[in-house]
């Protein structure tokens, strides 16, 4: 019998909820192929999206800088530079990316380039994230919009960064957020001419 058959694969045979708030925290009982039963923790808050808006004419990207509690807890990090992102409330990932871009950076995006659907932290979380690149023009940005939702205390700072700077920071290992690093590197692979100044041999 194939090792990939259902009989030989680990199976979840039960779960118990240990906490429910913004996210649920579960303990799953997993039956291994040899019959052993083990417990595994699961953080469950559903799917998400992230989008890297970039202006191909001015060669800049719009990112956000915001406080994140876990990095602060680990080493006192005050803020993280990130691509706009959020939980997927809509069925259509593009519609969610469009909403998040407007809420966080005040952009009305119309064109999206899918860049993958990835598990953010497969050892712990159920979050599967749709990644997008999205070209924009300066005229697509609405004055006074962005910054996140006040009722969610997001306190988002909108940051316009030259693509050359992002490439250099990626090369130097200075992009701390994984989704943002993935999007920057995908943009570099798909549109290398935007990074001509930093990708010289």
Where does the chain show beta strands of DSSP type E? 11-20, 24-31, 37-44, 48-55, 60-66, 80-82, 85-87, 113-119, 128-135, 157-162
CA dist 80 and 66 (Å) reads 6
Quick one: pLDDT at residue 199?
A: 43
Q: Tell me how many degrees the CA angle 71-72-74 measures, rounded to the nearest 5.
A: 65
User: Taking residues 110-138, what's their average pLDDT?
Assistant: 96
User: Taking residues 41-46, what's their average pLDDT?
Assistant: 95
DSSP letter for 121, please. S
Only one residue has tokens 């909820």, namely 17
Q: What percent of the chain has pLDDT over 70?
A: 88
CB 140 within 8 A of CB 107: yes
């Amino acid at each position: 019998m194939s090792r990939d058959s259902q009989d030989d694969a680990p199976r979840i045979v039960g779960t118990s909820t240990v906490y429910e708030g913004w996210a649920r925290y579960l303990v799953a009982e997993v039956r291994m192929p040899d019959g052993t039963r083990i417990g595994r923790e699961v953080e469950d808050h559903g799917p998400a999206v992230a989008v890297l808006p970039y202006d191909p004419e001015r060669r800049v990207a719009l990112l956000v800088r915001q406080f994140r509690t876990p990095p602060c807890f680990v080493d006192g990090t005050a803020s993280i530079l990130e691509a706009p992102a959020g939980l997927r409330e809509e069925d259509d990932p593009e519609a969610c990316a469009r909403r998040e871009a407007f809420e966080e950076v005040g952009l009305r995006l119309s064109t999206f380039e899918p860049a993958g659907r990835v598990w953010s932290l497969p050892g712990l979380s159920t979050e599967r994230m749709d990644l997008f690149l999205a070209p924009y023009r300066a005229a697509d940005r609405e004055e006074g919009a962005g910054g996140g939702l006040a009722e969610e205390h997001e306190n988002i700072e909108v940051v316009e960064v030259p693509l050359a700077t992002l490439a250099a920071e990626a090369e130097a290992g200075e992009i701390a957020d994984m989704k943002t690093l993935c999007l920057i590197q995908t943009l570099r692979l798909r549109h290398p001419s935007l990074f001509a100044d930093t990708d010289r041999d």
